[in-house]
Amino acid sequence: MVPEVDRTDPTSPLNDDGIDPAARAAGHQPSLTGCPWHDVNEMLQAAGLRPTRQRMALGWLLFGKGARHLTAEMLYEEATLAKVPVSLATVYNTLNQLTDAGLLRQVSVDGTKTYFDTNVTAHHHFYLENNHELVDIPDPHLVLSKMPDVPEGYEIARVDMVVRLRKKR
Ligand SMILES: [Zn+2]
């Protein structure tokens, strides 16, 4: 069973005041005020990043709609549609800065595709192969029944599981 995927219209996020309060309440930043613009500003400042117009706009697109999984290309496309003047290189840099600051988590699929996840808590993913979509697995307590032996001197930092799904033929 695959959870419903958020398909919010990405065309006018800068004018969008219809942020779903339930989605925000389910977010992972309890100290935030609920005003995305204010929150993004706070997040950037707290992470030591100057809230430039571009970072603010990208942060708005990323964090203003609840949990999301975006590649740099997807965010770049959204920014372009929202008339945010930004280059793909800037999108990459910003995503990496936000990841280094702990505000995003990277999830790699196929070793080539990197998704940036606004949900930085421990969770696993379904990858829908047919439409290249990453979806949270709702059970955060999912564990492998048998973990491999870890080499001497090491401990498991995190287990990232991507369960690949394809449509039944
Ligand atoms: Zn996720």
Q: Tens digit of pLDDT for each residue in 36-80?
A: 778 889 889 988 899 999 999 999 999 888 789 999 999 999 999
Supply the Cα-derived Rg of the chain in whole angstroms. 17
Q: How far, in Å, CA of 45 to CA of 59, rounded?
A: 12
Residue 46 is assigned to a structural domain of this protein: yes
**Residue 67 counted as domain residue:** yes
**Residue 106 forms beta bridges with which residues?**
116
pLDDT of residue 157: 82
In a domain, 146, yes or no: no
Model pLDDT for residues 144-164, shown as the tens digit of each residue? 778 889 999 999 887 888 889
Distance 118 CA to ligand 1 centre (A): 7
Distance between Cα 152 and ligand 1 center (Å): 31
Question: By residue range, what is the domain housing residue 18?
Answer: 13-116
pLDDT score, position 24:
40
Token look-up 């964090």 returns 63
Confirm whether 59 is domain-assigned: yes
Task: Let me know if residue 103 belongs to a domain.
Answer: yes
What's the CA-to-centroid distance between 119 and ligand 1, angstroms? 6
Judge whether 147 lies within some domain: no
At residue 59, the pLDDT reads 93
b (16+ CB within 10 A) / e for 22-53: eebeeeeeeebeeebeebbbbbbeeeebebee
Could you read off the pLDDT of 71-106 as tens digits, one per residue? Answer: 999 999 999 999 999 999 999 999 999 999 999 999
CA of residue 167 to ligand 1 center, whole Å: 21
Is pLDDT above 80 for 121?
yes
**Residue 3, domain member (yes or no):** no
For 137-141, what is the mean pLDDT?
Answer: 76
CATH number of the domain enclosing 54 = 1.10.10.10
Number of structural domains in the chain: 1
Neighbours of ion ligand 1 (CB under 5 A): 117, 119, 136
For residue 40, being part of any structural domain is answered with yes
